[in-house]
Structure 1
């Protein structure tokens, strides 16, 4: 399963790495693809919730749009 989210505030590779690191620690997430230019983040896996994704993105210092 793959879900796409819009994330606000990302501007560089460091931003993408921070979001990837936090999302990768969510149980059930098996892959993360970040496109800084569009603000899109694709999260792959099963068993995670939108709330868990939002919390991980917030922990990285960004927010779901």
Structure 2
């Protein structure tokens, strides 16, 4: 069967597992003051410049910023980057 997700050595490979390996650590922050595309761009640029950050996802509707990194990052470093962009981290999102 060529459609199986299992390899010849009986290890399973699923999209969820490979996604975790590719994505790394996901941390979601609540950020206040974001209202438009400019806000999204400013946050993405500022947080994306932090060492170790591989991806930034900004959701204006929920006021959340998801930071993807290879390892855990110091929340204070992310908060400082957000602050430099003119916004405020109000904490980690639930």
Unaligned runs of 5+ in 1: none
TM-score, normalised relative to structure 1: 0.96
Aligned residues: 65
* Bigger strand share: 1
Aligned match for 2:68, one of 37, 40, 44:
44
Q: Is the 1:27–1:47 contact (alpha carbons within 8 Å) kept by the matching residues of 2? A: no
Pairwise CA RMSD: 0.8
Aligned match for 2:36, one of 9, 12, 24:
12
Unaligned runs of 5+ in 2: 1-24
Which protein shows a greater Rg?
Answer: 2
Deviation at 1:48, TM superposition (A): 2.3
User: What secondary structure does 1:10 align onto?
Assistant: coil
Deviation at 1:50, TM superposition (A): 0.2
User: Whose RCO is larger (CA < 8 A, sep 6+)?
Assistant: 1
Q: Where does structure 1 differ by over 6 angstroms across 4 or more consecutive aligned residues?
A: none
Per-residue Cα deviation, 1:16-51 (whole angstroms, up to 9, x for no partner): 100000001000000000001110100000252101
For 2:26 and 2:52, how far apart are their aligned partners in 1?
11
Structure 1 residue 58 corresponds to structure 2 residue 80: no
